[in-house]
Amino acid sequence: MNMKLTEIRSIIKKSGNTSHAKTLQKFFKTGKGEYGEGDVFVGIKVPVLRKIAKEFCDLSFNDLGQLIKSKIHEERLVSLFILVDQYGKADEKLKEKIYSFYLENRNYVNNWDLVDLSAPKIAGEHLLNRNKNILIKYAKSSNLWEKRIAILSTYTFIKTGYFETTIQICDILLNDKHDLIHKAAGWMLREIGKSNIKTLESYLKKNYKKIPRTMLRYAIEKFPETKRKSYLEGKI
């Protein structure tokens, strides 16, 4: 085993906190039948993990490949922080390699924080000026995390004023049953509203009767109270 991989795992293990780990196990729904079933936490806060990632920002793909497959949540998250950092500094050839690595290992990006802290900055950034059909494919997947990767990746597009893919994916997810998808889609709709309120209101007026309640609540969170009430009561 590479010395750097041994070292980073040792640091993560030593940085853990049993009490915090128990809190995280509950927060990220790791119980039987829950969305994070079987995920293992050692109990480390995100700022500490970011610091560890910076110390090992040049970790090789071989080591990252082992780290991202870890049963320990914090090890997977550190690997993703390193990938995000490497992607931001990479030339086009290396960016393509990091993007491909990310998609190839997406099965290990399997809790909402892992998705949210990586998808916009790797998949989103990479697809900004490229064909986005892979995200449509993921949005139609039966896999919860592929669907969340699809919608969260569009956060990067929204920041540039491009909403089409977000809207298209939200249409696909309107009939989804999972609360985590409702929250994510509603969040992205709300972000559209920050940039262009007319686009958001146009979408809501067209779809508000069939939008899942949680998705709608998230989308209209920044609306004035009277307008929020009108949408929630179906009086638009």
pTM for this prediction: 0.95
Q: Helices 73-89 and 3-15: crossing angle, nearest 10°?
A: 120
pLDDT score recorded for residue 3: 83
Residue 77 has phi, psi (to 5 degrees) of -65, -40
Tens digit of each residue's pLDDT (9 = 90 or more) over 166-218: 999 999 999 999 999 999 999 999 999 999 999 999 999 999 889 999 999 99
What end-to-end distance do the CA atoms of the chain give, in Å? 61
Q: Is the dihedral of CA 141, 144, 149, 150 positive or negative?
A: positive
pLDDT score recorded for residue 2: 75
Q: For residues 133 and 146, what is the distance between their CA atoms, to the nearest angstrom?
A: 13
